[in-house]
Chains A and B, each alone.
Chain A
Amino acid sequence: MKITVIKKSNGKVKTMAACPWILDEPPVAKS
């Protein structure tokens, strides 16, 4: 059984800072 981790669990998925459907996200936050 082989597992290659591409991305580890963050505990919870990141939420959007703004609206991805209509406004689009502003540029990625610096921190």
Chain B
Amino acid sequence: MQASMFNVRVPIERGDEVFLMNTFTDAQLIVSRDVVDLLDRLHGHHEFSDVERETIEQLTEQGFVVRDRAAERDDLKAFFREVREGTDTLKITVLTTLQCNFACDYCIQGDHGDYNKSAAKMSLEMAARVSGWVEGRMDAIAPRRLVLTFFGGEPLLNMPVLYAMAERLHAACAARGVEILVNIITNGLLLSREMVERLNPLGLNGIKITLDGDRDAHNRSRPLRGGQGTFDKIIANTRAVADLTRIAVGGNFEVDTVDSYPALLDFLAEQDFAPKLSKVTFKPVIREKSAQARGTIPLTVVGAEGKPLNGACMTSAGTGVSRVCDSCNFVDDKMAYLREETKKRGFATADGVHMGPCEIHKGHAHTIGPDGSLFACPGFAGEALQSTGHIDGRAEDYRTQALRNFEQLASWEMCNDCAFIPVCAGGCTVASHNELGDMFAPNCHKPSFEAGVMALAREAAESVVGSRWSVVSSQSSVDGARRRRRLTKERAMKGKKTNNPKKNGTLRPWLVDVVVDNLR
């Protein structure tokens, strides 16, 4: 019997109590310090008072006490196996087109110069074949639910395909007794009431739009191809449909735009549709110092003919221009800051703790490109060699190999005994692939998780006592952040590319030395 490796703890100032969370069971408690002391002396201890035994029983029920470490690791492996093999939900993301009417200056898609001449677009004939393939998957795994997400490029530039697939798969789900949820991730420019009214009976669940800061910042960052601003039109469209469907707002912040987000949040909070916004979440765009000036971005990999190899609208995960994984903690700090600013205005947002495992770890989650190619997640749709298959079942060695690679993804196994493994799963594989040159390596945002846990602790404390409590950020957390910055800097000086630790038997120190003891 011992304390779970997935326990995290945050001391609460005043009251001598501690917030406890188990990232594996999702249980959250506020306990007195003697309970924490009991957890600390469990291992190898066998004699307890009646009160202690009763407390241990309660802690065991919530997952804070486990039989032993080996059993817990087995449970973790079983959890990831269930995630991979689970058939409850079939998740399909369809890239209706890789064309886009925006010219976001951080976009990796690489077709700004040729105005979509080489960006692929799904045909109606292919849409029918893709729908047939999805029906086949439903018959094979009998899911309870189909989550169908339309994405791109800009998915609304190919409405015939979007409507055709939504209509056919809605009927297919009805015939099979499968629930269907249709999502659209769009820049919002072409969003209309008519469109939402047509899609609502087909299972429209919600729409995600993007606003990159306040009006000025957004218009600089996400202009039309002709350079015109898009903020006002997106807001008008959002207002037009807000009573018909749920709207989630996303945004991509950078060093020079992050300060404009509070103004955006103030603006949104003043809008009549504010109560209708289901979620507001921002994510980072990080430019490398070597990135060229705006308007002359090399963007994504370009093939021999000079055409971009295309890719999904991955606004923060490109090669050379934008990066999701930073080396200066800017991301972690600012994400925590923006989460708090968002919550202050009363909007639902990501809590910063529940970040995974994402769809790439799920065997029954597929991204389908305009040509019918299958990918493990939209982040890899820009690389033909990362295709895991094709809806026509064609057997090609590179796709077979890619599928094998994705099935073996388990970067979390290199995260040692990090308490955040169940909610992180080793981080974003796309970021590891693009930035570390190794999709099998984990990428760590532990400070962001810690900030998220501290926010949960604060909310929990406030909910219990109804007043503002503060949580203690201990010295070891600060030391950990300093150590990580130093090691990351050292790593950067040795060169950005890293080898697969699985292959050479080594682990980068900053990846194994991230356990923050004060939170255990």
Interface of A toward B, CB cutoff 8 Å: 1-31
Contacts and interface: CB of A to CB of B under 8 A. Distances in A.
Given A9-B25, A9-B26, A28-B279, A18 B464 contact: no
Contacts of A26: 147, 149, 183, 185, 205-206, 208, 248
Closest 6 CB pairs of A and B: A27-B206, A26-B183, A9-B25, A21-B428, A6-B28, A9-B27
Contacts of A15: 83, 356-358, 361-362
B60 to A, nearest CB: 10
Contacts of B246: 27-28
B25 A11 contact: yes
B422 A13 contact: yes
B222 to A, nearest CB: 15
Interface of B: 17, 19, 22-32, 34-35, 38, 51-52, 55, 58-59, 61-63, 79, 82-83, 89, 91, 93, 147, 149, 151, 179, 181, 183, 185, 205-208, 246-248, 250, 278-279, 281, 283, 314-317, 324, 348, 350, 354-362, 377-379, 422-423, 427-428, 430-431, 460, 463-464
A10 B62 CA distance: 8
Most buried by B among A18, A22, A25, A30: A22
Given A19-B379, A22-B428, A27-B246, A3 B355 contact: no
B237 to A, nearest CB: 16
Contacts of A19: 358-360, 377-379, 428
Contacts of B59: 3
11 contacts: A3-B30, A6-B28, A7-B27, A8-B27, A18-B149, A20-B350, A21-B430, A23-B185, A26-B183, A26-B248, A27-B279
A1 B38 contact: yes
A17 B91 contact: yes
B514 to A, nearest CB: 17
A24 B281 contact: yes
A12 B422 CA distance: 9
Contacts of A24: 185, 208, 248, 250, 279, 281, 283, 350
A10 B354 CA distance: 13
Contacts of A8: 27, 62
B25 A10 contact: yes
Given A2-B32, A9-B27, A22 B355 contact: no
Contacts of A3: 29-32, 35, 55, 58-59
B185 A9 contact: no
B247 A27 contact: yes
A15 B82 CA distance: 11
B355 A21 contact: yes
B62 A16 contact: no
Most buried by A among B24, B26, B315, B427: B26
Given A4-B31, A12-B24, A16-B357, A22 B248 contact: no
Contacts of A28: 206, 246, 278-279, 348
B22 A9 contact: yes
Contacts of B359: 16-19
A5 B464 CA distance: 10
A20 B279 contact: no
B25 A4 contact: no
Contact of B29 (A6, A17, A31): A6
A9 B463 CA distance: 18
A10 B26 contact: yes
B96 to A, nearest CB: 15
A25 B83 contact: no
Contacts of B379: 19, 22
Contacts of B29: 3-6
A6 B460 CA distance: 7
A27 B259 CA distance: 25
Contact of A1 (B35, B355, B357): B35
A14 to B, nearest CB: 7
Given A6-B28, A9-B25, A13-B23, A25 B179 contact: no
A22 B314 contact: yes
Contacts of A6: 19, 28-30, 460, 463-464
B324 A31 contact: no
